[in-house]
């Protein structure tokens, strides 16, 4: 319907075209899951996406202060948990391991924390697991890797997830005159992938916006994968105690809009073009995730803007400390990095931070003014 591409196909596109010929159109979520996570040709399996030579850059890749402040945040929450002698320190989607490297350096201030932490990394990509292992070797804590959250043994748990939930596959629904239809991926007239609409209405319990709250052409997204994943995480936090810090770009309340977005070499890219060779994300619906946590009995803080969260944790002070004794050029780099991750017109506003805790924990730092 809306996007068609010449049949100069990537290996993954070939497979998807064969699959669609055989079985019919697939959901946007199935497309996204394969484009990112196909064991051979998925984006995270076959490419190193980070940095100037890659496709995008994340906050920890820009400034070490991001991970250091989160490390201090984790120390506070560990203390609030009663300083357990054994706990799980978990990162979802650790990328090149840069965030965890900075966290481990900052938390070394309290050797009891480092001794008590069992480090778990939830990562699908074999390539990135190798990078994580190399980078974290010097930290003195040996990581363990998990494919699923359920693989992590029960214990009090502190979790960090930066730009992880936006990778989870989203389903899309489009309003037409007669109600809602699921947006699917089919083969277009020129043999490339193209969007189409499912023929039957989605189940009523999907709770899509009413006719009064939407109009033909509107798109509504539901991330069942993120919801199911978070339900398991919250169940774990409620049983064993702990906190999860979720940082991502997204919206505070569920709403209409097509947020499926591909990025290649730091530029926006058509979502159905070159699957497996471009990053593909969807905005995180923080409102839907918060509802799941609150309904289950957990405490939820935020979402708050990333810039405000970092300011409250002491970004300005840490920036000045790090600048001490450095050359003018290095000082500029440090200050520019802090500005990039926190300024409202850069990453500070669009990126949001939400924390979910077991209900017995006090409000975590970063979610209130001192
Ligand atoms: C955008 S990167 C974020 C990297 C890192 N957190 C950072 O801030 O630099 C997404 C990470 O999540 C991983 N990932 C994506 N989908 C995943 C899944 N379903 N399960 C586990 N890891 C996944 C990717 O391989 C990658 O490490």
Residue 25, token pair as written in the block:
């159109």
Tokens, residue 328: 């003018």
Residue 239 in any domain: the answer is yes
pLDDT at 4 over 60: no
High-pLDDT (> 70) share of the chain, % = 98
Count of all residues that appear for the chain in the document: 370
Residues 315, 318, 319, 322: what is their CA dihedral angle, to the nearest 10 degrees? -160
- 10 Å CB burial of residue 314 (0-12, 13-18, 19+) is middle
- How much is the pLDDT for 370? 58
pLDDT per residue as tens digits for the range 126-140: 999 999 999 999 888
95 C-beta closer than 6 A to ligand 1: yes
Is ligand 1 within 6 A of the CB of residue 128? yes
Range of the domain at 107: 59-168+226-253+278-357
| CA-44 nearest atom, ligand 1 | 25
State how far the Cα of 282 lies from the Cα of 111, in Å rounded to an integer: 39
Residue with CA closest to ligand 1 atom 4: 95
Does residue 123's CB lie within 6 angstroms of at least one atom of ligand 1?
yes
Looking at residue 2, its pLDDT comes to 41
CA of 213 to the centre of ligand 1 (A): 34
What would the mean pLDDT of 236-244 be, rounded to a whole number? Answer: 98
Nearest CA to ligand 1 atom 22: 123
The residue with greater pLDDT, 4 or 17, is 17
CA of 104 to the centre of ligand 1 (A): 19
Beta-sheet pairing, 117-122 with 144-146: parallel
Average pLDDT score over the chain: 95
Is the residue at 343 inside a domain?
yes
pLDDT tens digits along 222-237: 999 999 999 999 999 9
- Ligand 1 pocket check for 60: Cβ under 6 Å: yes
Residue 25 has pLDDT above 90, yes or no: yes
| % of the chain beyond a pLDDT of 90 | 92
Give the residue-averaged pLDDT of 300-306. Answer: 97
- How much is the pLDDT for 353? 98
Interval between CA 94 and ligand 1 midpoint (Å): 6
Q: Give pLDDT tens digits for 339-351.
A: 999 999 999 999 9
Report CA(185)–ligand 1 centroid distance (Å). 24
Q: How far is the CA of 123 from the centre of ligand 1 (A)?
A: 6
Tell me if 52 is assigned to some domain: no
156-210 pLDDT tens trace: 999 999 999 999 999 999 999 999 999 999 999 989 999 999 999 999 999 999 9
Let me know if residue 4 belongs to a domain: no
Contacts made by residues 312-320, CB under 8 angstroms, sequence distance 24+: 312/365, 312/366, 312/367, 312/368, 312/369, 312/370, 313/69, 313/70, 313/72, 313/73, 313/365, 313/366, 314/69, 314/72, 315/65, 315/69, 315/342, 318/65, 318/68, 318/69, 319/65
Strand partners, 352: 248, 305
> How far does residue 368's CA lie from ligand 1's centre (Å)?
28
Number of domain units in the chain = 1
Euclidean distance between CA atoms 185 and 4, whole angstroms? 11
- Tell whether ligand 1 has an atom less than 6 A from the beta carbon of residue 122: yes
Per-residue pLDDT tens over the stretch 319-337? 999 999 999 999 999 999 9
| 92 beta partners | 122, 161
The pick from 36, 38, 164 for probing ligand 1's pocket by mutation, whose C-beta has the most ligand atoms within 8 angstroms, reads 164
Burial of 286-309, coded b for 16+ CB within 10 Å and e otherwise, reads: bebbbebbeeeebbbbbbbbbbbb
**Per residue in 55-112, pLDDT tens?**
989 999 999 999 999 999 999 999 999 999 999 999 999 999 999 999 999 999 899 9
Give the CATH number for residue 233.
3.40.50.150
Which residue of 61, 68, 93 sits with most ligand 1 atoms within 8 Å of its CB, as the best mutation to test the pocket?
Answer: 93
How large is the average pLDDT for residues 231-255? Answer: 97
- In whole angstroms, give the CA distance from residue 89 to residue 160: 8
Helix 286-296 × helix 224-240 angle, to 10°: 40
**Domain assignment of residue 32, yes or no:** no
The closest alpha carbon to 246, from 319, 309, 326, belongs to 309
Cα 92 to ligand 1 centroid, rounded to whole Å = 7
Helix (H) or strand (E) holding 317: helix 315-323
Tokens of 130: 């190798």
Binding site membership of 322 for ligand 1 (Cβ less than 6 Å): no
Cα 96 to averaged position of ligand 1 atoms, centre (Å) = 9
164 lines ligand 1 (CB under 6 A): yes
22-37 mean pLDDT: 98
The answer to whether the CB of 13 is under 6 A from ligand 1 is no
Q: Tell me how far apart the alpha carbons of residues 328 and 117 are, in angstroms, rounded to a whole number.
A: 38
Picking from 57, 106, 65, the residue whose alpha carbon sits closest to that of residue 309 is 65
How much is the pLDDT for 8?
73
In a domain? residue 364: no
The answer as to whether 124 is a domain residue is: yes
Per-residue pLDDT band for 37 (boundaries 50, 70, 90) equals very high
| Whether residue 67 has its Cβ less than 6 Å from ligand 1 | no
Task: Let me know if residue 49 belongs to a domain.
Answer: no
Pairing mode, strands 144-146 and 157-162: unpaired
Query: Does ligand 1 have an atom closer than 6 angstroms to the CB of 286?
Result: no
Half-sphere exposure at residue 192, Cβ-oriented, CA atoms within 13 angstroms: 18
| Gap from CA of 164 to ligand 1 centroid (Å) | 5
More confident residue, 25 or 109: 25
């Amino acid at each position: 319907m809306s996007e068609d591409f010449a049949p100069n196909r990537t290996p993954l596109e070939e497979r998807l075209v064969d699959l669609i010929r055989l079985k019919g159109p697939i959901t946007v979520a199935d497309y996204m899951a394969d484009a990112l996570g196909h064991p051979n040709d998925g984006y995270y399996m076959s490419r190193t996406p980070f940095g100037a030579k890659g496709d995008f850059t994340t906050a920890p890749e820009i400034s070490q202060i991001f991970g250091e402040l989160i490390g201090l945040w984790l120390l506070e929450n560990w203390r609030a948990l009663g300083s357990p002698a054994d706990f799980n320190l978990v990162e979802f989607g650790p990328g090149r391991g840069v965030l965890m490297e900075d966290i481990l350096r900052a938390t070394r201030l309290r050797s009891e924390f480092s001794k008590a932490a069992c480090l778990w990394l939830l990562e699908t990509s074999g390539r990135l697991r190798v990078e994580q292992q190399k980078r974290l070797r010097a930290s003195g804590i040996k990581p363990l890797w998990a494919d699923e959250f359920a693989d992590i043994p029960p214990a009090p748990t502190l979790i960090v997830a930066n730009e992880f939930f936006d990778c989870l596959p989203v389903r899309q629904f489009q309003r037409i005159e007669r109600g809602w239809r699921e947006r699917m991926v089919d083969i277009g007239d020129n043999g490339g992938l193209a969007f189409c609409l499912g023929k039957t209405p989605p189940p009523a319990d999907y709770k899509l916006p009413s006719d009064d709250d939407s109009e033909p052409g509107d798109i509504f997204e539901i991330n069942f994968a993120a919801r199911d994943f978070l339900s398991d995480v919250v169940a774990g936090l409620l049983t064993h105690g702990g906190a999860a810090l979720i940082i991502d770009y997204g919206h505070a309340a569920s709403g209409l809009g097509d947020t499926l977005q591909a990025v290649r070499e730091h530029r926006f890219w058509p979502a159905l073009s070159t699957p497996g060779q471009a990053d593909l994300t969807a905005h995180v619906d923080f409102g839907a995730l918060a509802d799941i946590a609150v309904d289950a009995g957990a405490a939820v803080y935020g979402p708050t803007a990333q810039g405000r969260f970092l300011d409250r944790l002491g970004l300005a002070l840490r920036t000045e400390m790090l600048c001490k004794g450095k050359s003018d050029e290095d000082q500029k780099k440090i200050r520019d990095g802090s500005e990039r991750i926190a300024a409202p017109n850069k990453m500070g506003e669009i990126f949001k931070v939400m924390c979910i805790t077991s209900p017995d924990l006090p409000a975590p730092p970063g979610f209130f003014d001192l």
